[in-house]
Amino acid sequence: MPSPLRSPLALIGALLLSTSLFASEKRLAEAAFAASVTPEKGNQVLQLRNSHLLEYLFVDVYSAALYAPADIELAQLMSSDASLRLELYYYRSISREDVIKAAWTALQRQYDELTLARLKPGIDQLHANLSDISDGDRYSLTRHQGKLVLRHNEKITFESEDPQLANAYLGIWLSPNGLSEELRTALLE
C-alpha cells in the first residue's frame, strides 16, 4: 500500500505533467508550423520532423520546428550536408541585443577563439540583420546546398554562401553546448 504522502505527490506530479503537456501542445498549435517547406531555389521538400516549446523560468519563450528530408537520420543531420530548416515562433518580445548576447554565449561554449575569430565577420553580418523580436514573430534559418538563409516573418533578411557559418549558427540550437540541451534533444530525437 502506498504511503499517504506518496500518493498525493504522485497525483500532483501527474497533474502537473499533463497540464504542461497540454500547454505545450496548445503553444505548438498556436505556432502553426507547416507540415513541409521547400528551400529557396530548390525543389526538395523538407518535412516537419520535430517541434518543441522552449520555456525559461516557467515562461514560454518560443516554439521551434525542425524540417529535414524524410529519409535522413536526425542524429546525423548536423554532420551531413543535408538541407534543413529551423523555424522559431516567439511568444515574447526580446530585444535584438539579448538575442545577440545569447548567440555569442552559446558560440563561445561551442568553439575555440581561433574558430570564432574566423566566423566573426559572417556572424556580425547576420547579427546586423536581426531586429527586435515581438510576440508572434517568426524567424527561420535554412541551410540548403551550403547556403544559409535567414528569414524574419518570411522576408529574407540575410544570406551567406559560407557553409561553416551555416553549421555554426544552426548549431546554436542543434549542436552540443548550445542554448538548450532539452530543445536540441527534442528536435533531433
Cα–chain center distance at 67: 11
pTM for the full predicted model: 0.85
Torsion sign over Cα 183, 101, 76, 71: positive
Using a pLDDT cut of 70, give the percent of the chain over it: 87
User: Which residues does 45 contact at the CB level (< 8 Å), separation at least 6?
Assistant: 36, 37, 38
What is the C-alpha separation between 142 and 157, in angstroms, rounded? Answer: 12
User: Which residues does 164 contact at the CB level (< 8 Å), separation at least 6?
Assistant: 118, 119
Question: Mean pLDDT of residues grouped by 10 in the chain (189 residues)?
Answer: 48 38 71 91 89 87 96 95 96 96 97 97 98 97 94 96 97 96 96
Give residue-wise pLDDT tens across range 160-189: 999 999 999 999 999 999 999 999 999 999
